[in-house]
Chain A
Amino acid sequence: MKTASKLEKILSQGHFVVSGEVGPPKHANAEEIIEHTVMLKDYVDALNLTDNQTAIVRLSSIAAGVHVLQAGGEPIIQMTTRDRNRIALQSDLLGAYSLGIKNVLCLSGDHQSFGNHPAAKNVYDVDSLQLIKIVKDLRDEKRFSCGEELKSNEPRFFIGAAANPFADPFEFRVIRLEKKINAGADFIQTQAIFDMDRFERFMAMVRERDLHKKAHIIAGVMPIKSARAARYMQKSVAGMIVPEAIINRIEQASDPKAEGVAICVEQIKHLKTIEGVAGVHIMAVMWEDIIPTIVREAGLYPRPQL
């Protein structure tokens, strides 16, 4: 074990992990985060806290992570390189670790033009791969990105990264994943999977390169509430592929929500059979209370106790 992360422990014991996601609110009250944590902590092994997702200002992911921790959950804080330079990123890593957070997911983040502050200046002093390396060097080399030594109490994060098998160029996605793993990623969470064929092809390339043995690959799923939501993701969300067949199924269902859950459960059951998939990451933002149902129906309840 490289870290004291519970997530690392569960993964290294070979359990099929389940992670969930909580989007921090657009205000300064943590009640919702705490409620979601209490509701979900027996159904997921860890909870992602998004970092100003889609570039909309929200309660900070680190603060949200602390609320999750206090409510008994295992937080994975997301950290984008959009809003902070290497000084702020490293400072926040030290701060987050001092508050008990053990998992970080390194991202480049959505461009600010998507959010509610499109006139903001982005930072991108470093990119997501470089951030992975920064977190790893703090932990394993005990040095800051400038090379200066970190004399004691280095932050020992379990390092996550994202992979998007649905972005282009497809052939390069696995190579980029390998770059992330070489840079120091311990676990990977993928973009929400709807095009299972493409994901299967991606995983075949992952196995060819033995990447699933070098990092834990957690497959992203997203329950869909309505055909309209599916259509929106198909048309307007960058880096997503939603096949017509899925939209048709929801469109034709008498109960679209139930159909969305059924599709998600089927996907999880299928993902469990793919060699190299170490777990699922359920992204049900604005629909967090469906997660227990999905976890139960997918046969993933109860969760392993440490």
Chain B
Amino acid sequence: MIIAESKPLAEIAALIKNARKILLVGCGGCVSVCLAGGEKETGILASELRMLRQVEGNPLETIEVTLTRQCDPEYVEMLANHLTEDIDCIVSLACGVGVQFLAERYQKWVVPALNTKFAGGTVEHGVWEERCGLCGECILYKTGGICPIIRCSKSILNGPCGGSQNGKCEINPDTPCAWQLIYDRLQALDKLDLLLELEPLKDWSQSRDGGPRKVVREDVKLD
């Protein structure tokens, strides 16, 4: 899933400092699971912002709605009833995709309440880690299911580099070296021969470097 975390309250407050009434929109998707932008967090943020403004003597009015998903026009449409004239600003607690879907659909100023971090998963309660580099052409079958593109600090494809020591990456003693992990796993599965061949240059045009990407499935399109 997409992992996000809340921007600092002061930053969000500054983003809406000229608004008198705002619509806070939560998202029931990934950010709900990673406890950043679900219904509960939306409610908490709304009351925090109101309290802050109360103290400043500049009261803020809030409306809170949590959509099933903000990355789906079908659900985004449901916001239409809530968007009255007097709302100065929409605060989206979705990932960057949700923020943009709202901005595309509505003629209102939309600001993000979260920093969208990465594609990852829960490793323990309250801890999420990045796993996928979204490179557009999966190579996990060559690396024992460990992604060097995002888990190696240099995204190298023929690792490990000379900075790998005691299983750790050169950048930080707390960061595991992805290539040591790959090595250990391939060794355990008796597949070290996969590392003998030079991995050729990657086609990054499949990645974000090729401009915004699109997936089209003709078989499920309606028209």
- Residues of B with C-beta under 8 A to A167: 160-165
Contact B196 A175 (CB under 8 A): yes
Q: How many chain B residues touch A (Cβ–Cβ < 8 Å)?
A: 30
Question: In the complex where A130-B198, A239-B165, A239-B170 touch, is A108 in contact with B180 (Cβ < 8 A)?
Answer: no
A108 to B171, CA, bound (A): 14
A238 to B166, CA, bound (A): 10
Q: Chain B, 164-182, contact with A by CB distance < 8 Å: what is the 0/1 string?
A: 1111001110000100100
Q: Chain A, 150-183, contact with B by CB distance < 8 Å: what is the 0/1 string?
A: 0000000000001110111100100110010011
Contact of B188 with A by CB under 8 A: no
- Choose the segment among A28-36, A97-105, A118-126, A198-206 that binds chain B (4+ C-beta atoms closer than 8 Å): A118-126
* Min distance, Cβ A139 to any Cβ of chain B, angstroms: 17
A110 to B160, CA, bound (A): 13
Contact B204 A125 (CB under 8 A): yes
Instruction: Name A113's closest neighbour in chain B (CB-CB).
Output: B171
Question: In the complex where A124-B155, A130-B201 touch, is A169 in contact with B160 (Cβ < 8 A)?
Answer: yes
Q: Which of B132-170 contact A (CB under 8 A)?
A: 153-167, 170
Contact B154 A124 (CB under 8 A): yes
Contact of B156 among A124, A133, A239 (CB under 8 A): A124
Contact B157 A239 (CB under 8 A): no
- Residues of A with C-beta under 8 A to B156: 108, 124, 127-128
Contact of A212 with B by CB under 8 A: no
A128 to B161, CA, bound (A): 9
* Min distance, Cβ A261 to any Cβ of chain B, angstroms: 26
* Min distance, Cβ B150 to any Cβ of chain A, angstroms: 12
Contact of A169 among B153, B180, B200 (CB under 8 A): B180
Contact of A86 with B by CB under 8 A: yes
Q: Which of A110, A145, A162, A169 has the most CB of B within 10 A?
A: A169
Contact B158 A130 (CB under 8 A): yes
Contact of A5 with B by CB under 8 A: no
Question: In the complex where A127-B154, A169-B180 touch, is A183 in contact with B198 (Cβ < 8 A)?
Answer: yes
- Residues of A with C-beta under 8 A to B153: 111, 113
Question: In the complex where A111-B154, A179-B158 touch, is A239 in contact with B201 (Cβ < 8 A)?
Answer: no
Contact B154 A239 (CB under 8 A): no
Contact of A145 among B158, B172, B201 (CB under 8 A): B201
- Residues of B with C-beta under 8 A to A114: 170-171
Interface bin, chain A: 20 to 34
- Residues of B with C-beta under 8 A to A238: 162-163, 165, 170
Contact B171 A127 (CB under 8 A): no
A238 to B175, CA, bound (A): 13
- Residues of B with C-beta under 8 A to A133: 198, 200
Contact A172 B183 (CB under 8 A): yes
- Residues of B with C-beta under 8 A to A163: 162
- Residues of A with C-beta under 8 A to B201: 86, 125-126, 130, 134, 145
Question: In the complex where A145-B201, A167-B162, A239-B163 touch, is A110 in contact with B183 (Cβ < 8 A)?
Answer: no
Contact A129 B171 (CB under 8 A): no
Question: In the complex where A110-B170, A111-B154 touch, is A172 in contact with B160 (Cβ < 8 A)?
Answer: yes
- Residues of A with C-beta under 8 A to B180: 168-169
Contact A179 B170 (CB under 8 A): no
Contact B164 A130 (CB under 8 A): no
Q: Which of B164-222 contact A (CB under 8 A)?
A: 164-167, 170-172, 177, 180, 183-184, 195-196, 198-202, 204
Contact B170 A168 (CB under 8 A): no
Contact B163 A111 (CB under 8 A): yes
Contact of A82 with B by CB under 8 A: yes
A124 to B163, CA, bound (A): 15
A-B CB contact pairs (8 Å), 11 listed: A108-B156, A108-B161, A124-B156, A125-B201, A127-B154, A128-B158, A128-B161, A167-B161, A168-B167, A179-B198, A239-B165
Q: Which residues does B use to contact A, with CB under 8 Å?
A: 153-167, 170-172, 177, 180, 183-184, 195-196, 198-202, 204
